[in-house]
């Protein structure tokens, strides 16, 4: 029997093994997955490092899939939070890490269903003294060098927090402070932070004048495309937040309704929130060329009229001269 309570040659679904891996911390199962996916632990570690880099980790390097101590296997609380956030976007992952207890089914090597195991994350176990009603996961960890660690998530009032506690310890009364500290962090977050809607979708933000537009449409309102909802400390003075509005370099008619003409953004506690600015209505171009054509036609008509008058006068003079010659005879 392997350390995870499974037998060599035993057949499981991937989902069954994922539950054993995440709830029971079965190190041998992690190796099974690594070899199945990549052929070796080393190649799987390379994939882990590539994915960590893709999601923004800056100080992480893996050499194995289970976290067994190695000087070249390291990470940080910040990077672990990024990894946890990425994983929690997966519905199956969320379901597994929030499960209290799981039982392996009968297999080709074991004809019983008594291999049950509970989640090692005491925050989601109702009977535990560390139970936290808003907890939704995620994973405990321990090595002699790293000590007790816990990556956790919790959701309340549509706010979700991820907490990472590393190097936890226990006191003489047996209290596991990774759970105690995590609860303290979550309570602080829920008590001091909230979501605030700064702007509603389609709200008018500003007005501009379009130079080459018709008189009726040259005054143009710009509206925000999406709602701007920020996450902020409850003590932040929202009323004094000033937006940064950037308009396109050249805004000329014709302009269609909902055409993108710029952006609006707010920076709140180091994070930027941005949305596009759209034309609230269409803008028609002033047809100056009609006036020019009209002037041209007028000048042409005047020229033809003058030439006609001159021609008529010349004919009259010519007749008078002719008559004079006739009488002289």
Cα radius of gyration (the chain): 39
Tell me the pLDDT tens digit for each residue of 206-245: 999 999 999 999 999 999 999 999 999 999 999 999 999 9
* pTM score of the predicted model: 0.79
pLDDT for the residue numbered 303: 66
Give the separation between CA 80 and CA 329, rounded to whole angstroms: 125
- CA 223 to chain centroid, in Å, comes to 21
pLDDT for the residue numbered 3: 54
pLDDT for the residue numbered 329: 45
pLDDT for the residue numbered 328: 46
Q: CA angle, corner 295, sides to 292 and 300, nearest 5?
A: 125
Domains of the chain: 14-193 (3.40.710.10), 200-279 (2.60.410.10)
Q: Yes or no: say if 261 and 277 are a contact pair by the CB < 8 Å rule.
A: yes
pLDDT for the residue numbered 174: 77
Q: What is the DSSP string of 79-143?
A: HHHHHHHHHTTSHHHHHHHT-SEEEPPP-SS------EEE-S-GGG-TTSTT--TTEEEEEEEEE
Q: Which backbone phi and psi does 244 adopt, to 5 degrees?
A: -105, 120
What contacts 97, CB < 8 A, 6 or more positions away?
A: 22, 88, 119, 121, 136, 137, 138, 139, 153
Q: Yes or no: say if 236 and 198 are a contact pair by the CB < 8 Å rule.
A: no
Q: How distant, in Å, are the alpha carbons of 3, 188, 232 from that of 113?
A: 18, 42, 48
| Mean pLDDT, the chain cut into blocks of 10 residues (329 residues total) | 72 95 92 96 98 98 96 97 98 98 94 93 96 98 94 97 93 84 98 97 97 94 98 94 96 97 96 97 82 60 69 62 49
């Amino acid at each position: 029997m392997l350390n995870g309570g499974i037998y060599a040659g035993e057949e499981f679904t991937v989902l069954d093994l994922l539950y054993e891996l995440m709830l029971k911390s079965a190190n041998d199962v992690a190796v099974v997955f690594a070899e199945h996916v990549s052929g070796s632990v080393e190649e799987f570690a390379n994939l882990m490092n590539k994915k960590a880099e893709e999601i923004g980790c800056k100080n992480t390097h893996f050499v194995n899939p289970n976290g067994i101590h190695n000087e070249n296997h390291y990470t940080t609380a910040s990077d672990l939070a990024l990894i946890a956030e990425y994983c929690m976007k997966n519905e199956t992952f969320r379901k597994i890490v929030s499960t209290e207890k799981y039982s392996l089914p009968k297999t080709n090597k074991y004809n019983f269903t008594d291999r049950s195991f509970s989640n090692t994350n005491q925050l989601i176990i109702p009977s535990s003294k560390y139970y936290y009603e808003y907890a939704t996961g995620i994973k405990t960890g321990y090595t002699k060098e790293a000590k007790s660690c816990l990556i956790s998530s919790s959701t309340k009032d549509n706010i979700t927090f991820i907490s990472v506690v590393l190097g936890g310890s226990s006191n003489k009364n047996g209290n596991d402070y990774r759970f105690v500290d995590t609860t303290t962090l979550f309570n602080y977050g829920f008590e001091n932070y909230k979501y605030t809607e700064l702007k509603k979708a389609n709200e008018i933000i500003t007005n501009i004048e379009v130079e080459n537009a018709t008189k009726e449409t040259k005054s143009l309102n710009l509206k925000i495309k999406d709602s701007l909802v920020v996450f902020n400390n409850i003590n932040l003075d929202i009323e004094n937040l000033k937006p940064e509005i950037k308009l396109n370099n050249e805004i000329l008619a014709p302009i269609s309704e909902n055409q993108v003409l710029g952006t609006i953004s707010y920076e709140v506690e180091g994070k930027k929130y941005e949305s596009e600015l759209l034309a609230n209505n269409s803008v028609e171009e002033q047809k100056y060329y009609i006036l020019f054509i009209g002037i041209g036609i007028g000048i042409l008509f005047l020229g033809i009229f003058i030439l006609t008058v001159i021609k008529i006068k010349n004919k009259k003079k010519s007749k008078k001269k002719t008559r004079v010659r006739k009488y002289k005879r």
